[in-house]
C-alpha cells in the first residue's frame, strides 16, 4: 500500500509500505477521504513541536472496513466509518476524572503517531463510528465538526441566544453550524468576503467584514447594543480575543477554539466588569456519534466546506498550497482510491 510520508520538514513523498495487519479487536480500514488540517500543515513545515519524522499526516478521515480481527456485532467488512483519532494514556489525572479529551499525554494521529494519509490503516473497533448512507466526503468532516460542536456544548449555547463566531475558516463555520443545531441565531465575522458568503449560505443570520466593520457596529446592528450571549473565537489571533471580549454582553460566555501562538494583552478588569465566563475548548471524542447521526438524518449540510479534492498522489502540492495560505479554500480533502 502507498502512504504520504513527510520525510523531513518541508518534504513529502508517496512511499510504498507493507500492508498493516489488524491486531485482535482492530479493523483494517481502507481510507477514502482525509482532510488537511492546520496541524498537518505544521507537521509538514516542522513547526509542530510534537512531530517526529518520518510522519504520515492526517486525522480527519472516512474509510471502509476491509476486515475485522475478531467478532463484532456492530461492524462488518464494507461498512463506511469515521474514527476518533485521539489516543489517551488512561492514567493521568485528567483521564482518571473522565476528561479524556484533556489527557496530559494525548496523542493525535498525524502528529504524535502516524495518521490517515495512507491507503490502509488499522484502528481499534471502539474508536469507529459507522455511518450509513453518508457521503464519504462529508464523513471526513466529522472530526473538525466535533471541535465546533464541543465548543458550543462547553458554552451551553441555548435556543434563541445571539452568538458571534469570529473566524470563518472550516472550524469557525462548523462552530456556527453547531450553534444553529441548538436553535441559536448566529453572526459570523471574518476578513475574507468569500468565506462570509459561505457563512450566509450555511445559515448565518448576518456577517461582519472586520476590514471595514467595527465590533461596536456589529454589536449595535445585531444585538441592539446588548452584546452577544456567546462569542466563539476561532482564529487564535490576539486581536480576535480582545474583539471577543468587546463583543460579549454582560454575563456572556466566551469560548476559545483558535489555537494561537502569540501573546495577548488585555485589561483583566473587563472580565470582572462584564462577569464573563471564559472557556477553553479542545477535542472531544464523545460527540462523534451525535454528529454522524446528524449527517445520517440529513439534518446538517457540511458539503459547502469541502472546497477542493485532490488525489493523494498530489498530497505534497496540496500541503505546500495549504502552507502558503491557499486563498479561499476552506477544507481540502485528499482522495484515496476505492476498493479494487
Ligand atoms: Zn491521560
Distance between Cα 297 and ligand 1 center (Å): 34
Distance between Cα 56 and ligand 1 center (Å): 23
Distance between Cα 282 and ligand 1 center (Å): 14
10 Å Cβ neighbour count for 247? 25
**Are residues 280 and 256 in contact, defined by beta-carbon separation less than 8 angstroms?**
yes
Distance between Cα 41 and ligand 1 center (Å): 26
Instruction: Return the closest-CA partner of residue 209 out of 235, 231, 194, 190.
Output: 190
pLDDT value for 124: 96
Distance between Cα 209 and ligand 1 center (Å): 41
pLDDT value for 328: 74
pLDDT value for 49: 74
Distance between Cα 110 and ligand 1 center (Å): 19
**How far, CA to CA in Å, does 23 sit from each of 62, 68, 121, 257?**
20, 9, 11, 35
DSSP label at residue 36? -
Which residue numbers in the chain have pLDDT < 70? 326-327
CA angle 241, 148, 52 (to 5 degrees): 85
Distance between Cα 151 and ligand 1 center (Å): 20
Distance between Cα 97 and ligand 1 center (Å): 9
Distance between Cα 85 and ligand 1 center (Å): 15
Distance between Cα 100 and ligand 1 center (Å): 6
**How far, CA to CA in Å, does 184 sit from each of 153, 165, 199, 254?**
12, 12, 15, 15
Distance between Cα 106 and ligand 1 center (Å): 6
Distance between Cα 299 and ligand 1 center (Å): 34
The pTM for the full model equals 0.96
pLDDT value for 326: 56
Distance between Cα 93 and ligand 1 center (Å): 7
Distance between Cα 99 and ligand 1 center (Å): 8
Distance between Cα 50 and ligand 1 center (Å): 16
Distance between Cα 102 and ligand 1 center (Å): 7
Distance between Cα 98 and ligand 1 center (Å): 9
Outline where the chain has alpha helix (H).
Answer: 38-45, 93-96, 136-139, 142-154, 170-181, 193-201, 215-223, 238-247, 269-273, 288-296, 315-323
Q: Is 6 helix (H, G, I), strand (E, B) or coil?
A: strand
Distance between Cα 223 and ligand 1 center (Å): 41
Using CA atoms, how far apart are residues 340 and 1, in angstroms rounded to an integer?
Answer: 12
Distance between Cα 107 and ligand 1 center (Å): 10
**Are residues 130 and 81 in contact, defined by beta-carbon separation less than 8 angstroms?**
yes
Distance between Cα 108 and ligand 1 center (Å): 13
Distance between Cα 87 and ligand 1 center (Å): 9
Distance between Cα 79 and ligand 1 center (Å): 30
Dihedral through CA 116, CA 118, CA 119, CA 123, nearest 10? -40
pLDDT value for 327: 66
Distance between Cα 88 and ligand 1 center (Å): 5
Amino acid at each position: 500500500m502507498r502512504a504520504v510520508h513527510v520525510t523531513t520538514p518541508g518534504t513529502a513523498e508517496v512511499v510504498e509500505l507493507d500492508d498493516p495487519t489488524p491486531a485482535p479487536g482492530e479493523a483494517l480500514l481502507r481510507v477514502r477521504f482525509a482532510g488537511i488540517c492546520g496541524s498537518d500543515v505544521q507537521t509538514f513545515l516542522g513547526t509542530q513541536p510534537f512531530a517526529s519524522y518520518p510522519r504520515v499526516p492526517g486525522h480527519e478521515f472516512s474509510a471502509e472496513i476491509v476486515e475485522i480481527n475478531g467478532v463484532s456485532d456492530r461492524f462488518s467488512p464494507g461498512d463506511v466509518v469515521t474514527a476518533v483519532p485521539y489516543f489517551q494514556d488512561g492514567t493521568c489525572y485528567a483521564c482518571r476524572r473522565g476528561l479524556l479529551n484533556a489527557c496530559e499525554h494525548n496523542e493525535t494521529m498525524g502528529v504524535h503517531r502516524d495518521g490517515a494519509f495512507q491507503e490502509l490503516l488499522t484502528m481499534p473497533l471502539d474508536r469507529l463510528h459507522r455511518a450509513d448512507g453518508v457521503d464519504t466526503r462529508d464523513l471526513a468532516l466529522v472530526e473538525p465538526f466535533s471541535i465546533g460542536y464541543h465548543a458550543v456544548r462547553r458554552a451551553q449555547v441555548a435556543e434563541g441566544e445571539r452568538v458571534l463566531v469570529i473566524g470563518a475558516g472550516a472550524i469557525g463555520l462548523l462552530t456556527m453550524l453547531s450553534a444553529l443545531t441548538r436553535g441559536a441565531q448566529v453572526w459570523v465575522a471574518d476578513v475574507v468576503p468569500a468565506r462570509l458568503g459561505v457563512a450566509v449560505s450555511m445559515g448565518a443570520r448576518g456577517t461582519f467584514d472586520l476590514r471595514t466593520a467595527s465590533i461596536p457596529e456589529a454589536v449595535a446592528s445585531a444585538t441592539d447594543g446588548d452584546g452577544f450571549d456567546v462569542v466563539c473565537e476561532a482564529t487564535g489571533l490576539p486581536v480576535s480575543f480582545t474583539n471577543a471580549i468587546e463583543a460579549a454582553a454582560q454575563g456572556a460566555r466566551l469560548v476559545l477554539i483558535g489555537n494561537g501562538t502569540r501573546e495577548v494583552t488585555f485589561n483583566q478588569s473587563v472580565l470582572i466588569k462584564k462577569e464573563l465566563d471564559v472557556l477553553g475548548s479542545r477535542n472531544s471524542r464523545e460527540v462523534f456519534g451525535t454528529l454522524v447521526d446528524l449527517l445520517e438524518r440529513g439534518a446538517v449540510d457540511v458539503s459547502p466546506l469541502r472546497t477542493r479534492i485532490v488525489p493523494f498522489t498530489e498530497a505534497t502540492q496540496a500541503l505546500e498550497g495549504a502552507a502558503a495560505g491557499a486563498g479561499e479554500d476552506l477544507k481540502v480533502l485528499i482522495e484515496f482510491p476505492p476498493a479494487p
